[in-house]
Structures are given as structure tokens and as C-alpha cells.
Structure 1
Amino acid sequence: MGSETGGGKAVVVAAVNSVARTAGQDASALVKRLLHGRGGGSAEVAQGGGLAAGRLTETLAAVPGLVGGT
């Protein structure tokens, strides 16, 4: 999930359920990949910011490829 904040910036929040965790997914690693090393949290829930709001759609479109989706 992502949202634009004030000032033309966006934040990204990722949550991973137990099935995805068992399959090796990690919310913190995903956020860091999406935000080029920024952000963090736990393996289950993570967040990061500083992304230009204009790049939010493009960034979220990359998620399926990073988690093995279509």
C-alpha cells in the first residue's frame, strides 16, 4: 500500500501474512527493495518514505515481480 503525504512525498507500507512468511517473504526486505534501501520494520510489517509522489504508481507496480506474482 502507498499513500502521498504533503509536500510531494509518498510512504509505502507492506504487510506479509503467515503463509507468505512461510514462503520466504519479508515485509522489511520488500520495502527496502522498493525504496532503494530506505525504510524498515519487522518481517511482518514495514514502512518507508521519501519517495517522490510521482513515482508511487510505478513503484507499486513493481511489487508483483518482487514477490513472485504476475
Structure 2
Amino acid sequence: MKGVGHKADEQKRIIVQAVGARVDMDYGGSWKENEDRRNTMVFIGKDIDSLHIDQLLNELLYINTDKVS
């Protein structure tokens, strides 16, 4: 898996790479002022259970209820 993540209190990208059980994360370059800051991940492999991955990632979502009217 490879990906770029956005964390609300960080100005830099979070770079994620994983192979098997090994996961590496580090900061990348800063986001541009008007750049669309979305989390993007690519999973590469055989017989990947995409529904299971989707469920696991959804469990990690944080919903900021302070901004909900």
C-alpha cells in the first residue's frame, strides 16, 4: 500500500508505505494553499478483499461534529 494523507492540524503531507506487516510513515512536502487535501491510498496485491479494507478504513474516520449545523 502507498498513500498520501492529510491531518487537519498538519501543513505537511503524511506519506505512508506498507508491505506486509511493515508500515512506514513520514512527512512529505507542504500542501499548497488551495490544494485539495484528501487522503489517497493505493493497494497493490493479489486476492485483496476490498470490502474488508473499506470497512477497516471507515473505522478510522474522524467526523468533526463541531462544524455540523
Asked if these proteins are the same fold (TM beyond 0.5), I'd say no
So what's the TM-score if we normalise by structure 1?
0.32
- Flag the structure with higher helix content: 1
- Flag the structure with higher strand content: 2
Higher RCO (CA < 8 A, seq sep 6+)? 1
